Chain A
Amino acid sequence: MIGNGVWPDRMSTSQAPLLDTLRQYEIPEGVSLEFRLAGPVVRACAWGIDTALRGLLYLALLFLFSFFGGLGIAAMLISIFLIEWFYPVIFELLNGATPGKRAMGIWVIQDNGTPLTPAASIIRNLLRTADFLPLLYGFGLVSMLVNREFKRLGDLAAGTLVVYRDRPSERMSPPSERVVSPPMELNEAERRAVLAFAERAERLSSSRRIELAEMLSGVTGRRGQQAVENLYGYANWIIKGHSRASSARGICTSPHGSR
């Protein structure tokens, strides 16, 4: 990348598509939703948990029905049939995820971001049989690896995605209040980077914070904790505007500021 001499590795504003598991879907409201796809490993783990749970369920039912003689055998056979084919369907329609998927933090949605429909859930789970062939999800794995969206055969036919279910995370804000005006105009990518640094800084170790902030020492001339504070200042400047922070706050206290 050609630097312009001032800003190290000046970031380009045009984003080339990266190799990523992030998929976007544009909804009728005109914005794009983003989904982080779940890969084969996490899904296999979820399946393992579900298989173990199903085994326990079978044992419990076997114990329960053993008191009922012939009728118990009939009930057991019907339960095996229902659990074998409809265990995932029932949980997916109730919660969007089987207990195993839930434990792994993933769930099933339609590929347009809407909730899983009953028809799609039944299709994707009946087709497990085909995915399972020739052994232990062989075809399913091949299909997932060939497909851009990690879809096994059942997902292809049902039009479903298995994605991570984002947990609501606490909103982070720049740690300091000080506003520093940057020495030059920042382009979009640079503004994004500064904001991302300031908002995520508290999750980094202090030496890593300094290491990242000192990448700009050539421009700012500051080192150590001062460089970090300086970047927080830039972030506040981007968010709040000029250093008249106090007056800006004055305007904003009324929720629908009269202008």
Chain B
Amino acid sequence: MRQERFEAENSPLWERLEQLIAELERPRYKRRMAPSERLNFPADYRLVCSHYALARSRNFSPALLDQLHALVLRGHYQLYRRRTAWGWRLLNFILLGFPRALRRNSGYFWVALGIFLLPALTLGIGCYYEQDLLYSILDEQQVASLEGMYDPANRRPGRVEERSSESDFVMFGYYIKNNIGIGFRTFASGILLGVGSLLILLFNGIVLGGVAGHLTRLGYQDTFWPFVAGHGAFELTAIVICGAAGLLLGHAVLAPGQRTRALALKQNALEALQLVMGAALMLLLAAFIEAFWSSSSLASATKYSVAALLWLIVVLYLGWMGRAPDGSR
């Protein structure tokens, strides 16, 4: 069959499909066709795919091939587009997906926890017994500002400026920008063979441990610990989870196993993304607690008991939420 005849016979179908695709490309509220008119889209699209294949094998003209290719491309894009119920997916993720994803990758979590916790404990004990050790991590100004922040003589734990409801909001914004940003960076830098995540975890472990030991040594424990205990449940856990997500990426690049590197990276990135998004939600919650609860001047006993409750919630949520009735998953 010559090209002219082929075109004449089939162009009505092509035009129909073109209109249908144009309709599907419009946002939903601008569509004019009834849903029933769109029913034969898959069949028409597949027919045009075969026309394209035919036109190619018969060496029809480049312009016709371009026209059909464009049609197939646009049709393919529309046919394989996914539409998601966002609210339902988010709820499902929080209640089931995130804790399950973490338990699937718990090995990475324990490694990340070790990388974070061991230097934190070492430096914490070191700075508790050795007065000047903290100065080898932070410079004088930073140490002075930290000491000022948690000095029991000032009734403003964790803040440099005077506490007010407005400054609570400012700090909430600051914690979101800063902490979630750190979480994302901890994850992203994991693609550099895991080194980035490793360094950020190590660095945070060293600094937080050192500061905690140093302030306890100065006798500031009654301002420092009640402040950090509450939101720490979410914040520290979330940073470790982000580190675990980064290690997932690094592992895929370093040792993909029987998969190709590209495939391993793609698959692990999808797993890691669930960890990061869950951790980001935890950091959001932590920012809220840190800004509005941790900085309040309630009695230490109240703060400690709430903190204990929060830690319990985190452990139960991550460890047991979404398990199957027989305890698996």
Contact = CB atoms under 8 A, between A and B. Distances in A.
Contact of A77 (B50, B72, B170): B170
A146 B182 CA distance: 29
B191 A157 contact: yes
Interface in B131-188: 164, 166-167, 169-170, 172-174, 176-177, 180-181, 184-185, 187-188
B12 A255 contact: yes
Contact of A115 (B2, B61, B77): B77
B173 A78 contact: yes
Interface stretch (B110-118, B218-226, B265-273): B265-273
B300 interface: no
Contact of B169 (A71, A81, A191, A199): A71
Interface stretch (A29-37, A41-49, A207-215): A29-37
A71 B191 contact: no
A122 B77 contact: no
A199 B62 CA distance: 8
Nearest to A187: B59
Nearest to A30: B53
A85 to B, nearest CB: 6
Q: How large is the interface on A (under 10, 10 to 19, 20 to 34, 35 or more residues)?
A: 35 or more
Q: How large is the interface on B (under 10, 10 to 19, 20 to 34, 35 or more residues)?
A: 35 or more
Q: Is the interface of B mostly helix, strand, loop or mixed?
A: helix
Contacts of A114: 76-77, 80-81
B183 to A, nearest CB: 10
A5 B28 CA distance: 61
B206 interface: no
B61 A199 contact: yes
A166 B70 contact: yes
Contact of A80 (B60, B177, B273): B177
A120 to B, nearest CB: 9
Contacts of A133: 189, 192, 196
A129 interface: yes
A15 interface: no
B61 A235 contact: yes
Residue among A75, A80, A130 with most chain B CB within 10 A: A130
B249 A173 contact: no
Contact of B5 (A69, A157, A195, A251): A251
A39 interface: no
A236 B164 CA distance: 82
Interface in A158-209: 158-159, 166, 168-169, 171-173, 188, 191-192, 195-196, 198-199
Nearest to A190: B59
Interface string A88-114: 000000000000000000000100011
Residue among B53, B70, B270 with most chain A CB within 10 A: B270
Contact of A191 (B59, B84, B187, B196): B59
B262 interface: yes
Interface in A57-83: 69-71, 73-78, 80-81
B39 interface: no
A72 B129 CA distance: 44
A23 interface: no
B38 interface: no
In the A-B complex, the 5 residue pairs with the closest CB atoms? A70-B166, A77-B173, A74-B173, A252-B8, A29-B49
9 contacts: A31-B50, A73-B173, A74-B169, A130-B189, A130-B192, A157-B265, A173-B63, A192-B59, A199-B63
